[in-house]
Amino acid sequence: MLDIREVDQEIVGDPSAIARGRIDIAGVSVVFGKVPDQTVALEPTDLILQPGTFTALIGPSGCGKSTLLNAVAGFVTPTEGCVRVGKRLVERPHPSVGVVFQNFALFPWFTARGNVMFALKGVAMPRQDREKRAIEALKEVGLAEHAKKFPGQLSGGMKQRVAIARTLSADPDVLLMDEPFGALDAQTRLRMQELLMDLWSRRKTTVLFVTHDVDEALRLADVVYVMSPAPGRIIRKVPVDLSRPRPVDRMGDDFLQLRAELMGLLHHSND
Ligand SMILES: Nc1ncnc2c1ncn2[C@@H]1O[C@H](COP(=O)(O)OP(=O)(O)O)[C@@H](O)[C@H]1O
Ligand SMILES: [Mg+2]
């Protein structure tokens, strides 16, 4: 099996600050249910994501992508192995790890601002400061003028912007995204990818991004991990050495080559 645990890169600067966004997945497997109705969702997986990197995880439906992401988020407890984010052993969800889902998960009875403020409920700060921070986060995703609208008054792309603002307002070290743009139309999806690149290049949060769209993975990621069909395991690491930014209308031969490689891996993994 492919050994994808890497030797630590040399850490420059303040090591404790840098290590905060490191994700260490060590021998993590997930089995749901009890004998005889067990589902092996994830075979033992080892993976280290360095702080500030952008990693995409692709694979066929049901191969365990969400399960792996949920184990990092602390929503799923590994059957074997453990996950660390920075120095912290993941045992439950934690504000240093932000999660964005496909279905936005907004409260319909709160405004955009209210939704972001709700996420800051646990943070010890006066209401006024929470309000200010929520507005700043909405500004960051280009939604300042829509702060008082309810989710029902917003388009899909705008709802997802609110969800991203909500997550970023807590200033996480790590951002986990589970097919976040999967429900959006093609045009909106491209704009959201640009927004995400913009946010990431400014914040340098460690991102783990699940998608089954090869083009999306190649537009965004430093490295793509490919999973096999269920029971899932990582079968290949594909570094994406394409210069940034990566405008969609200027994807050259390197891009096409990587695309063919990934398509091939996904196709053959289905055999
Ligand atoms: N809470 C759960 N209980 C039982 N089985 C689950 C649960 N979550 C996921 N599974 C199963 O685990 C496997 C992997 O699912 P998932 O991680 O959602 O795949 P993906 O995100 O790649 O589509 C699937 O067979 C799915 O049915
Ligand atoms: Mg999934």
230 lines ligand 1 (CB under 6 A): yes
Q: Whose C-alpha lies nearest to ligand 1, atom 14?
A: 64
Query: How confident is the prediction along the chain (271 residues), in pLDDT tens digits per residue?
Result: 454 544 444 444 555 555 899 999 999 999 999 989 999 999 999 999 999 999 999 999 999 999 999 999 999 999 999 999 999 999 999 999 999 998 878 999 999 999 999 988 877 889 999 999 999 999 999 999 999 999 999 999 999 999 999 999 999 999 999 999 999 999 999 999 999 999 999 999 999 999 989 999 999 999 999 999 988 999 999 999 999 999 888 888 999 999 999 999 998 765 5
269 lines ligand 1 (CB under 6 A): no
Q: Supply the pLDDT for residue 270.
A: 59
Which residue in 185, 257, 234 sits closest to 68, CA to CA? Answer: 234
Q: Whose C-alpha lies nearest to ligand 1, atom 27?
A: 62
> How far is it, in rounded angstroms, from Cα 71 to Cα 90?
8
pTM for the full model? 0.92
Which protein residues have their CB within 5 A of the ion that is ligand 2?
66
CB 212, CB 61: distance < 8 Å: yes
Q: Which residue has the tokens 């965004």?
A: 220
Among the four given CATH numbers 3.40.50.300, 3.30.465.10, 1.10.10.10, 3.40.50.2000, the one describing domain 15-96+172-269: 3.40.50.300
Q: Whose C-alpha lies nearest to ligand 1, atom 26?
A: 62
Domain locations in the chain as residue ranges: 15-96+172-269
Q: Supply the pLDDT for residue 271.
A: 55
| Both structure tokens of 136 | 């700043």
Distance 144 CA to ligand 2 centre (A): 31
Q: Supply the pLDDT for residue 209.
A: 98
> E strands of the chain, at which residues?
23-32, 39-49, 54-58, 80-85, 88-89, 97-100, 174-178, 206-210, 223-227, 234-239
Which residue in 238, 236, 234, 243 sits closest to 217, CA to CA? Answer: 238
